[in-house]
Amino acid sequence: MTRDTKGLRHAREVEGHLDWLGSFTSAALGVLAVASGIYTYLGVRGLLDDGGALSLFAAMAYSAAVSTGIFVFWSYMLRLLPAMRTAATRLWLVAAMALGSAAIVAMSSWLNAAALAGSAAVEQHLARTVQDYQAALERTHEVTLQAQALGLDVGRTRQGFEDLSEQEADGDLSGLAGRGAVFRVLVQKSDELAVLDAQIAAQDPLVEAAFIEGNAILSRMRALTVAPGAVEDRSVEFSEEAVRLAGVITTLRQLSVAPLVDRAARDLAQSVVLPRLDAGDAGGQAAQAATITSLLEVLGRRAETLQAAAAEVLALEPAPEVVYTPISTADAVILYARNFAPSWAGAIAIDLLPAVLVLIVAVAQAAIRAGREPASAEDAMTVAELRAAVLALREVEAAEGLGGPAARVLSDGPAPVPREAAE
């Protein structure tokens, strides 16, 4: 058996397989198109807020258009691309197939992914938002506690002025025992710091209560992310809790006493009401004036220390602003696409699987052409084709009358069939 004959036999074998496969390829392609249309319908329904009859009809129309487009597009590709013989025509059709595949992904695949993993993606969005709110709450609480710690600095400064006032009462500072001008200056500043210290201490239960309330809201938000039921309904409750939590975080931020301490530190040395020097003689008044001058220097240094401590707290990085934004299932699938790669793969595969069939048919058609082209026309004819040719010849000569070569064919019978073709 010659090489050409083997190639011809192989080509006929592949043609037989293609004929059998082609008997149900259109049906299979229709099933894929309908399945994609169903998931597209579910994805579109998730995007439409209105649940009326018009929205239902719009979703059905869109899904029907998608199914029709997929079926027609891949039917074109299955028929035309394998039949192309030149590299240029094949390249143009491959480019058209790539463009059509991109269009299918744009109009169908992302909606299929939304139908497959939309609810899970929205729950992922809720869980991520809870994490953001928790970080914001903890950071705001931490900064507020740092501000509350300034109460220790204020208390130490107040205690220092109280100790100095006791020393002045005994005459250890200016040398004049009693409650004179120096004593009154010290009491004035210690009272100011005592008021500030009391304000800071009063904030402690408020800060603790706000933090406890924020954690309670976070617990309810976490429960909503995994609770049974429609994710749309849970999203509404989640949004309400998010508003409450945002208010708690704002309250915690406003409870910070760092700005108050900073202003008090600025006023500590600048707003001193100097009393009248009440010593009985010029020497005592000079001693009082010198002591008050020293006290003002001490006040300046203590004020700078408090102001620096408050500035450190004010310079702390605040918690980022967190705002919960409701999101649709389709947007959630796109936003968290990396977390739902299997769903995306399935959604795209159901639309682009026929591309594999196109390549398979193209390879098979190329094999058929490779097997047929080296053979001559006589060798390529099948027995059925030879019989059809003889019958056609008889009909022609019967119409024209007997004679010539055709008469010999009729009298001698059909020409012998080539061995290669008979095989």
* Whether residue 351 sits in one domain with residue 205: no
Q: What is the pLDDT of residues 319-369, one digit of tens each?
A: 888 888 888 887 888 888 888 888 888 888 888 889 998 998 888 888 777
High-pLDDT (> 90) share of the chain, %: 20
Distance CA 117, CA 104 (A): 19
- Name the residue range of residue 383's domain: 377-422
**How many domains does the chain divide into?**
3
Same domain? For 157 and 110 the reply is: no
Highest mean pLDDT among 190-194, 383-387, 417-421: 190-194
Give pLDDT, residue 218.
93
Neighbours of 212 (CB within 10 A): 10
Mean pLDDT over 174-201 rounds to 71
3-state secondary structure of 196: helix
Residues 361 and 383 in one domain: no
Asked if 241 and 311 sit in the same domain, the reply is yes
Domain shared by 141 and 160, yes or no: yes
Which 3-state string (H, E, C) describes 241-306? Answer: HHHHHHHHHHHHHHCCCHHHHHHHHHHHHHCCCCCCCCCCCHHHHHHHHHHHHHHHHHHHHHHHHH
Looking at per-residue pLDDT, the higher value among 366 and 10 belongs to 366
Q: Are residues 52 and 17 in the same domain?
A: yes
* Same domain? 416 vs 349: no
Domain co-membership, 144 together with 263: yes
Q: Which of 144-153, 173-182, 245-254, 364-373 has the highest mean pLDDT?
A: 245-254
User: pLDDT at position 206, please?
Assistant: 92
Residue 171: DSSP 8-state = T
DSSP 38-55: HHHHHHHHHH----SHHH
228 or 6, which is more confident?
228
Do residue 131 and residue 49 come from a single domain?
A: no
Do 299 and 358 fall within a single domain?
Answer: no
- Say whether pLDDT at 420 is over 70: no
